[in-house]
Amino acid sequence: MSTFTPIDLTQWPRTPYFNHYLDELRCTYSITFHIDVTSLWKTCKARKIKFYAAELYLLTRVANQHEEFRTAFDENNQVGLFDEVHPSYTVFHPESETFSSLWTPYSADFSKFYAAYLADLQTFGNCLGLLGKPNPPSSAIPISSLPWADFSSFQLNIYNDGRFLLPIFTLGRVTSQGQQFKLPLCLQVHHAVCDGFHASRFAQEVEALAADCSLWM
């Protein structure tokens, strides 16, 4: 589904930072942005588009535009780049108050992605268990949603070896603020591959795309 290309650390400009934040001072961080999604929210309501699908598309599209969100280790512990990442997302089961993880292949064409999302939701959306849709690709980026809460900060405490390099996204409840609708978006990343500049640029590009009505035609 995705091609993985190893990085030559002897030629990679990021290598000193990568080594420092992976081996000398292993460090991840999270940052929460409040994204203006006014245009997108209204468009989805008017055209009866599932807002969650639009959120997944926005995050994955921007992630695919930048190497820092496609960097990972392969099964041989080699750092490299996926040519494309895909959304792995949660769906909630109110009857059991549990969730399952699904994934949908990314397409730059929203209409194609949306059709695939709806098909996955119909086929796997009611499957209970942690993995609602089996066999998620290694190039999947985790995305979860808390549509019940408007938060200003969110922190995942992950107790592993600190070598997961792909981004992790957490979405909150859309709230109205005057004439605007705002979405809390928490981005958790590894400092070895992503600095504050990259995280801030990501948020800015998501907000700009959310205002582009032509994406949802």
Residue numbers annotated as active site: 191
The CA–CA distances, whole Å, from 14 to 23, 44, 191 equal 14, 39, 11
Distance CA 151, CA 29 (A): 17
Tokens representing 73 are: 């280790």
Strand partners, 131: 101
Distance CA 164, CA 74 (A): 10
Which one-letter amino acid corresponds to residue 160?
Answer: N
Strand 140-145 to strand 98-103: parallel, antiparallel, or no bridges (unpaired)? unpaired
**Three-state SS annotation for 57-86:** HHHHHHHHCCHHHCEEECCCCCEEEECCCE
Q: CB–CB of 140/86 below 8 Å?
A: yes
